[in-house]
Structure 1
């Protein structure tokens, strides 16, 4: 039995044996509820794993469930963005329809691998809104973000990884086991969890297999061959690190929690400085009272335009 299922089973048994009011118990855990039916929480702010939230969203797309335990699965959206949702059969939820707006009260935010989704459970309340009502969602947002910075780090579980073979799960297999579905041989995938730094802030970015190939030229088949030749999965992560650290990129995509899911990427290593650096240099020279010959905002163009050494966060 998967550990999560075992934990739930034991907890429910203990609550029953102790004659605990389960509704009161769950209410106590939901002390940090976010959003109300009058003021629902925007989907873009549903970024706390395990939080109980109330949101108002439109069903953008429904997918065919691949397990009997799933009643419905798909994509919901509001003006701030989109998010996956799952409704479990055992919760006996109503049938949701595409292009219809609902208020979802007491649904749970679930996070794994940097991705967030909403779970509809037995304590959730779903309120349908007419398509011509004031509550109906019109245009659904995408939360697209553009960020430019130097690649300063590659996080663990990057490179060649294995994912759970369950069709509704994309969790990474660790030590031959999925945290949700137990022992699992897994299927190979390629990704990069990277950190970009623009000198003032850092942004964690998730590069899928396709985007990894774009920035490195290494596809999934090549990565598998590299690991097979070296008898070591980590050789791929090390190679990606050697290729990317110190290079500057401009990335664009939706924000999924703390990660930016890269949809587009441009190598901008030939840009040593952001727009407006001339003014910044002039201000620094004036601040330190330097007016002599030598370094000026104009001849700073002669400085190297690329970086080969790793750059510390905030120090590019």
Structure 2
């Protein structure tokens, strides 16, 4: 076992990537880098606004800051390495680097999925039990929700990282993806990995449907509460507070279910890579835009910050 592990550690893997050096792919790569830059700036700005503006020190924005942190770490885990490999033409990633990338990716996707589910519960409590909201969503409860999301994802990430890196890889080193993705990596293993792949599939089902069931149950109760409201203005306001979260949920779960819950015979590497770009780069860019452009408190906090910058820059 030590021999192949040492050999794997020395050789590493080749990430085949998603772009060639054709004119079209150069344009697409430039677009991805612009999206990455916007995602980076948008999430950093949102975390900063939530931290400095006292009006945003509420459970919903605390969860949103954690969501932005997860998105920030996700794009930084994937895109810089992809960009370096594309620009240098090396395509190489070390054995240890591949394991770290898998661990971070699985942990962050798992954590974000659960957090989105628990954020739906927060919206349910805010709309259905507004008078008891400060008690039901106390600081202790919020920390437990965020802590459980991080712990849940971290546990899954460590398990998949250790298991994936324990297989012998003695044949081809070409990973048909732009990052070390577990299912793409397992195709290179020298042993039968079908049992582990079935375990990953079962794990993905649990990780997707557990928070998804929380979302469905929460919004079913929210809908019931909204229908019982007498004021049309109150109904509109209640639905408006949920629209941003529902949009983020649709983007995340739509892409994740397409990647991991399709039968094996319908999977194609080219499809997986395109959809992976969607939820590793595009979704982290869209989340802060969704929550800022459709949220009055965030827009007011941004306007206040810009006003302070203007005042500070005046002689």
Task: Decide: shared fold, TM above 0.5.
Answer: no
User: TM-score w.r.t. structure 2 length?
Assistant: 0.24
Structure ranking higher in strand proportion: 1
Larger Rg: 1
TM-score (normalizing by structure 1): 0.24
Q: Which has the higher helix share?
A: 2
